[in-house]
Chain A
Amino acid sequence: MNKISLIIQREYLTRVKKKSFIIMTFLSPVIFAAMMVVPAWLGSQEDTKHKVIAVDDITGQYASALKSTKYIKYQALDNQQSQKDKQALAKQFDALLVIENDLLENKPQVQIFSDGQITMDVTDNIKYHLNKHLRELKLKSYDIEGLDEKIKEINNLKINLKTIRLDEDGSEKQSSAEMAIFIGMASALLIYMIMIIYGTQVMRGVIEEKTNRIVEVMISSVKPFQLMMGKIIGIGLVALTQFFLWIVLTGGVMFAVQTIFTDAETKAEITQSMEKGQVANAAEQSNEVAATIEKVTSIIADANLPLILGMFVFYFIGGYLIYSALFAAIGSAIDNETETQQFVMPVLLPLILSIYVAMAVFRNPHGDIAFWFSMIPLTSPVVMMSRIPYDVAPWELILSMTILTASFVFFTWFAARVYRTGILMYGKKVSYKEIWKWFIQAGK
């Protein structure tokens, strides 16, 4: 036992002290934060310069309907200016909007001229105001009593869809499909990534020991099983460390971003832009970021966190142990990393399959496919994690966990037998048949 802890210590410390580990651990949350902040920041930079749109309204009816916003300013032209040629006007202003006909009578059509590309937010804004204005004009033409109130009433009609799930005991629970998808996918993806990244690290470690020829020195003092388990556990702890640091750091960064983007000014802008209509401007974009974060935070707060977290840790450990045992067996069977391909593919296949199933799970989280793939031990860590937010029945969870535990024991036993023979084999092209022989032979 003491020896295993020595091995774990070495595997853990040598990896945690590596530069690549430190960089990965501290850079990832920063990159993640940058991915959220930079687009918003860029957007806000660009659009602080407001645009001036000249409106040449020959009919004289519509110019007043176009209300300037913070970023788009409409300027009606007087008669004198409108005589100028369009080229000059388009140069002078950011764009020139020409309304020639009565929009209610003919096919409503306006033209906009510009010497550069006109951005979406400008065209959207113009369409929005004109449409609104035309609708109101049309309604007014029907001569209905108390029309203004009625229009307001209509505009205020909005459906708020609340999904409430009834539990068996009759209690109501508010659920959100978005939340379930988000949490399910996020944890499934994390487990998937960790299994691939750290599983292959175990394999590399074994190959390193073999190519360095240290393995025979080692197993003259420790049992091959201790060496294998020590490596697997040590690297697993590295994964947990990194994961824990990511959570803490990302949490910190998210909090910082949230405070930056929800200060008083931007909050005022949210209300403002809401009043002005669905204007897709930069301020809203940055507010979207803050809003998303707020939503995520509230979603996480709503969910059954202890269960999800507990299951995450269990399926992470179970899945990692199974896959790393297989990766260790592969590492022991080959002499160098270039030969890994033919053996790694079959191990990766169920893992890749499970991520596809997990992505489809939200359509039918309790269907046959979802059920069976969350029982098969090679796919259950990923698939079950994506199902858990949809409230999986306890017996299913327990069954899946039992199968996973039992298979972990089986796979480790299998891997240890292959490993024992494999690490002492040099310069031999290994086939599946050969590995099978090692497995059988180790029993004697």
Chain B
Amino acid sequence: MYLLEASEVVKRYANHLALDNLDVQIPQNEIFGLLGPNGAGKTTFIRIINHITMPDKGSILFNGRPLKSEDIYNIGYLPEERGLYKKMKVGEQALYLARLKGMSKNDAYKKLKYWFEKFEIGAWWDKKVEELSKGMQQKVQFIVTVLHEPKLLIFDEPFSGFDPINANLLKREILELKENGATIIFSTHNMSSVEELCDNICLINKSKSILKGKVDEVKQTFKNNEVMIDFAGEKALFEEKLNGDYQLKSLNENHGGYLAKIKMNMGDDTNQLISKLLPDFKIRGFQEILPTMDEVFIKAVEQSNTKQ
């Protein structure tokens, strides 16, 4: 079941095509990574979901029905370019933004108190926003985004401006939101956090979606057929054994043994390699090397750029 389905979405600005027949399916109750280089079209897509701009063509289904402007009550959006009214008091402002999302004053007040306690910023309620540090302001922004308990949350670079401790706090909160049933679109350039948090991803490059799928599967398709072997034994013999059949990428000493990175050929069976080595070496570890999301990102974008 998809919470959001975009099909053949086209958006053209005066000088360029921002989205070119984009198809994206966002499964219910998952964290979905929306990735891509700067200017790829992510923000345009997010703005279309938020009803800020309209697509020229294509359809967007939210919860199975075409997306309506009332659906923004079920969406929480933390934009990359975000700020607050500097001269307003923190609590007053949070109340204002919550009420604009359709919450009643009482309801908003109660929930805000809860979140302010949770984030340990209760003392800041009557302070003016300009007195807050950037990290503090980001916390307030985050609270306001999730306060009305929307079905769909969109976080655009949520960790910018946070120190590692607060970034961790935020990660925990995002995972908790998912546990509570929210679907989350997560747009970032920080690939390690994608690996940590996302279930599915979609990579957009030059207005088109170029890669989609579960994080593990995506990694699988971009793997290099490389393995890491941790063994004890004779170095020269090891090199001899591999000779011809496998390519030794690197060999480093490791706790009285060696750590070897080996590239196999397509279709090679890993068991075959292990059985070949077993008689002469003590195998202490064996692992298939999967690319990091960073590598996947770079490779996918480069591939799609050379194709054009």
For residue B129, which residue of chain A has the nearest CB? A212
A window 199-219: CB within 8 A of B: 208-209, 212-214, 216-219
In the assembled complex, the Cα of A213 lies from the Cα of B72 at a distance in Å of 20
Q: Is the CB of A222 within 8 A of B79?
A: no
Residues of A within 8 A of B84 (CB): 212, 214, 217
In the assembled complex, the Cα of A444 lies from the Cα of B18 at a distance in Å of 15
For residue A444, which residue of chain B has the nearest CB? B56
In the assembled complex, the Cα of A426 lies from the Cα of B85 at a distance in Å of 18
Residues of B within 8 A of A6 (CB): 96, 99-100
In the assembled complex, the Cα of A219 lies from the Cα of B69 at a distance in Å of 12
Q: Is the CB of B79 within 8 A of A220?
A: yes
Most-contacted residue by chain B among A208, A217, A219, A441 (CB, 10 A):
A217
For residue A202, give the distance in angstroms from its CB to the closest CB of chain B.
16
In the assembled complex, the Cα of A444 lies from the Cα of B100 at a distance in Å of 27
For residue A419, give the distance in angstroms from its CB to the closest CB of chain B.
13
Indicate if B68 sits at the interface (CB-CB under 8 A).
no
Indicate if A111 sits at the interface (CB-CB under 8 A).
no
A window 205-256: CB within 8 A of B: 208-209, 212-214, 216-223
Indicate if B172 sits at the interface (CB-CB under 8 A).
no
Q: Is the CB of B81 within 8 A of A222?
A: no
Q: Is the CB of B141 within 8 A of A221?
A: no
Residues of B within 8 A of A426 (CB): 81
Indicate if A424 sits at the interface (CB-CB under 8 A).
yes
Q: Is the CB of A217 within 8 A of B97?
A: yes
Given A6-B100, A212-B86, A222-B100, 6 more contacts at CB 8 Å? Answer: A14-B88, A212-B84, A213-B81, A216-B52, A220-B72, A424-B52
Q: Within the complex, which residue of B14, B81, B82, B87 is in contact with A441, where a contact is CB–CB below 8 Å?
A: B14
In the assembled complex, the Cα of A223 lies from the Cα of B50 at a distance in Å of 10
Indicate if A10 sits at the interface (CB-CB under 8 A).
yes
Indicate if A132 sits at the interface (CB-CB under 8 A).
no
Q: Is the CB of A216 within 8 A of B100?
A: no
Known: A14-B88, A220-B75. A213 touches B96 (CB 8 A): no
In the assembled complex, the Cα of A208 lies from the Cα of B83 at a distance in Å of 11
Residues of A within 8 A of B13 (CB): 441
Q: Is the CB of B85 within 8 A of A221?
A: no
B window 58-103: CB within 8 A of A: 69, 72, 75, 77, 79, 81-88, 96-97, 99-101
Q: Is the CB of A216 within 8 A of B87?
A: no
A window 1-57: CB within 8 A of B: 3, 6-7, 10, 14
For residue B144, which residue of chain A has the nearest CB? A217
Residues of B within 8 A of A209 (CB): 85
For residue A424, give the distance in angstroms from its CB to the closest CB of chain B.
7
In the assembled complex, the Cα of A216 lies from the Cα of B84 at a distance in Å of 10
For residue B252, give the distance in angstroms from its CB to the closest CB of chain A.
47
Q: Within the complex, which residue of A7, A220, A437 is in contact with B52, where a contact is CB–CB below 8 Å?
A: A220
In the assembled complex, the Cα of A327 lies from the Cα of B218 at a distance in Å of 50
B window 161-209: CB within 8 A of A: none
Most-contacted residue by chain A among B13, B52, B72, B144 (CB, 10 A):
B52
Residues of B within 8 A of A14 (CB): 85, 87-88
Q: Within the complex, which residue of B47, B50, B83, B96 is in contact with A10, where a contact is CB–CB below 8 Å?
A: B96
In the assembled complex, the Cα of A212 lies from the Cα of B82 at a distance in Å of 8
Q: Within the complex, which residue of A214, A220, A222 is in contact with B85, where a contact is CB–CB below 8 Å?
A: A214
In the assembled complex, the Cα of A219 lies from the Cα of B72 at a distance in Å of 10
In the assembled complex, the Cα of A437 lies from the Cα of B12 at a distance in Å of 13
Residues of A within 8 A of B87 (CB): 14
Q: Mark A257-297, 1 if CB is under 8 A from B, else 0.
A: 00000000000000000000000000000000000000000
Residues of A within 8 A of B69 (CB): 223
Q: Within the complex, which residue of B14, B56, B86, B97 is in contact with A221, where a contact is CB–CB below 8 Å?
A: B97
B window 234-267: CB within 8 A of A: none
Q: Is the CB of A217 within 8 A of B79?
A: yes
